[in-house]
Structure 1
Amino acid sequence: MDEVLSQSEIDALLSAITSGEMDAEELKKEEQEKKVRVYDFKRALRFSKDQIRSISRIYENYARLLTTHFSTQLRTYVNISVTSVDQVPYEEFIRSIPSLTVLNIYSVSPLDGRLIMEINPNIAYALLDRILGGQGKSIDREDSLTEIEKLLLHQFFEKGLDCFREAWSSVIEIDPVLEEFEENPQFIQLVSPNETVVVVSLTTKIGETSGMMNICIPHVILEPIVSKLSAHYWMQPTKNKIDEEAYRKITKELHGATLDVKTILGEASITIEQFLKLNRGDIIALDQAIEQPLRLIINDKPKFYVQPGKFKNKMSVQILEEIKGVIEHDE
């Protein structure tokens, strides 16, 4: 990317050309000369800025989901946010983390390879303190975790696999599994030292304790889905996929549902005195004219105009037309 000059630098350059301190022809010659840019093959960039932004979006969603999960499990204030997403050699990532830390190693089927989540000891000890009933304070320790502490952390992070799965669901359906738990990064060699990995750094705060969680994603994991990390893929309209089995079951249940269907021949209003004086043979005049169609009521809502008749020696109605423009009020 070409260097962009500030306004003061532009003014100084114009002033130098005007005063003769700098020759415009010499500037043109310098511009035409080939410029050599130093390139470090150990830091080869395998992903574009667009793809890095897509990974950042995935893990911003993951950070929000993990914040909710941690807050629910620990019943305390938790805040997790994405600090940076960088491409670095695997060797540089290993050197950057403490010699004694907490490392979760995940497989993400159907993708190949495994990824690492490194939890800073400050956060790991705060988690343990909170899980065991404390206030979530971190402690300075130089010894390794006990087997019970490892088991507690392993179970705690296993419960958060759904957050990982949901965060990636916008790109691919994965089945993450927490396979290993390690403390010394020197014992882990997932890829070659010069292999490019994506490191997502998450700033984590639990109560009054803060620290970092780093997620190392080797290139081999992202290679099959690299096309899905482009802006073009994210901007494509998503098509709702129909679960055929669920659709069939819902349709079957709806077909067996019962409805209350009735036709009202007419209505009339009389006084209590008239009601008390009714005798056999008396006639009550309804408000329904004989030439007008009746209404078919389904679940107490008028749906069709019908006419009465007989079908196979049973009283029946024939549908004439649908009743439109009826405003239905939910009770």
Structure 2
Amino acid sequence: MADQILSQEEIDALLTAMDSGEIDVAEEKKDVVAEICSYDLTTQNIMQHGQFDALEEVYDKFVNLFQGSLSNLFQRTITVKAISRETVKFGEFIKAFSNPTGFVIFSMEPLIGSALMAFEPKLVFSLIDCMFGGDGKPMEKIREFTMIERRMLQRIAMAVLKDLETAWEAAYRVRLALRKIETKPEFVYLVNPSDQLVIVVFAISTEGFSGNIHLCLPYLMLEPIKEQLSSSYLREKDRASSFGDEIRKLLGRTEVNIVAELGQTVYSVEDILNFEVDDILRLNTGPQNNVIVNIERVPKYLGMPGVVKGSKAVQISEVIDQDQGKG
């Protein structure tokens, strides 16, 4: 480092040369372009690993249910497969569709907001053709849906929603209800254009035709229940379920004491000491009153006394409310 320091003579010579103009001290100006990378939080992939693992079980169950429903409805073998899963902005998603497209908007109570199914137009025409006895041959030219075709699309959508609601029971119980049918993308609004959608594409295929259904769930709709849809929650649920089954099996073989209480009465100690054989004790209940059935000294049922095949018995008529029993 010491060899790189200028001596006083070198410094004086440098200053003299600068004053005389032998050295150009003007700083070379260069265009400096700042490298800036835009970072938009809404463009990031919100599908973190394991965040919505429960949906995989829902989709698998839906594929099996919907494949059976379509095959029965059209009386032919139809294959349904989930072919892709991704997250995109709503604005980008809706721009990918043309007019007409079979947009089915539905609710998923108690979740807030609406979800969407998009039927590709060729698939809609093929399915409707099958419903009227055709072979589902794709149309060469796409046109607007007629009123009858819109009603047929609604019928197909109801079948899809029924199977999807059943499939969702594997993860979270929801009630699906059709809100409306649209054919023009500009009339479809779920969330803001920059909001994310969780999209699953199902391929429908048979010998004569094929097409896709796009199932779209807004992230804002799923966000309140994301914990219940996570892989960690599923593991805890499975663990609790396995322990629950074992506990139920053990309890099923456990013996407990059951006592039917015919009635009660109150006597003093002196009266009890004076009891003799053949004395009669008066109870607070009669033959028409219910008796209390206790399980390990805890009141659980009410019943009527009687006789079955020569043995005294009690017929259970009511389950005692626990709060009432405590009182």
TM-score (norm 1): 0.59
Which residue is 1:164 aligned to? 164
C-alpha offsets along residues 102-130 of structure 1, whole Å, 9 cap, x if unaligned? 11111111111111100111211111000
CA gap of 1:128–1:134, structure 2 versus 1, over 3 A, is: same
Write out aligned runs for 1:1-331 (5 A).
39-235=39-235, 236-237=237-238, 239=241
Cα drift, residue 136 of structure 1: 1.9
4+ aligned runs moved over 3 Å, structure 1? 36-42, 238-241
What is the identity percentage for the equivalent residue pairs of Structure 1 and Structure 2?
Answer: 25
CA gap of 1:316–1:144, structure 2 versus 1, over 3 A, is: closer
> Does structure 1 retain, via aligned residues, the 8 Å contact 2:52–2:231?
no
**CA–CA distance in 1 between the matches of 2:160 and 2:202?**
15
**CA–CA distance in 2 between the matches of 1:205 and 1:185?**
24
CA gap of 1:46–1:146, structure 2 versus 1, over 3 A, is: same
> Does structure 2 retain, via aligned residues, the 8 Å contact 1:56–1:82?
no
SS of equivalent residue, structure 1 residue 152 = helix
CA gap of 1:168–1:316, structure 2 versus 1, over 3 A, is: closer
SS of equivalent residue, structure 2 residue 213 = strand
One-letter code aligned to 1:147: M
**CA–CA distance in 1 between the matches of 2:38 and 2:84?**
24
One-letter code aligned to 1:188: V
Compute the RMSD of aligned alpha carbons.
Answer: 2.5
One-letter code aligned to 1:152: M
C-alpha offsets along residues 75-115 of structure 1, whole Å, 9 cap, x if unaligned? 11211111111111111111122332111111111111111
> Does structure 1 retain, via aligned residues, the 8 Å contact 2:99–2:184?
yes
Cα drift, residue 159 of structure 1: 2.8
**CA–CA distance in 2 between the matches of 1:111 and 1:52?**
16
Q: Which runs of 5+ in 2 are unaligned?
A: 1-35, 246-308, 312-327
SS of equivalent residue, structure 1 residue 149 = helix
**CA–CA distance in 1 between the matches of 2:205 and 2:197?**
25
SS of equivalent residue, structure 2 residue 226 = helix
SS of equivalent residue, structure 1 residue 136 = coil
SS of equivalent residue, structure 2 residue 115 = strand
SS of equivalent residue, structure 1 residue 104 = strand
Considering only CA atoms, is the larger Rg found in Structure 1 or Structure 2?
A: 2
**CA–CA distance in 1 between the matches of 2:37 and 2:204?**
38
**CA–CA distance in 1 between the matches of 2:138 and 2:124?**
8
Cα drift, residue 215 of structure 1: 0.9
TM-score (norm 2): 0.59
> Does structure 1 retain, via aligned residues, the 8 Å contact 2:100–2:145?
no
Q: Which runs of 5+ in 1 are unaligned?
A: 1-35, 242-314, 318-331
Cα drift, residue 52 of structure 1: 4.1
> Does structure 2 retain, via aligned residues, the 8 Å contact 1:67–1:80?
yes
> Does structure 1 retain, via aligned residues, the 8 Å contact 2:42–2:194?
yes
> Does structure 1 retain, via aligned residues, the 8 Å contact 2:122–2:142?
no
Cα drift, residue 147 of structure 1: 0.5
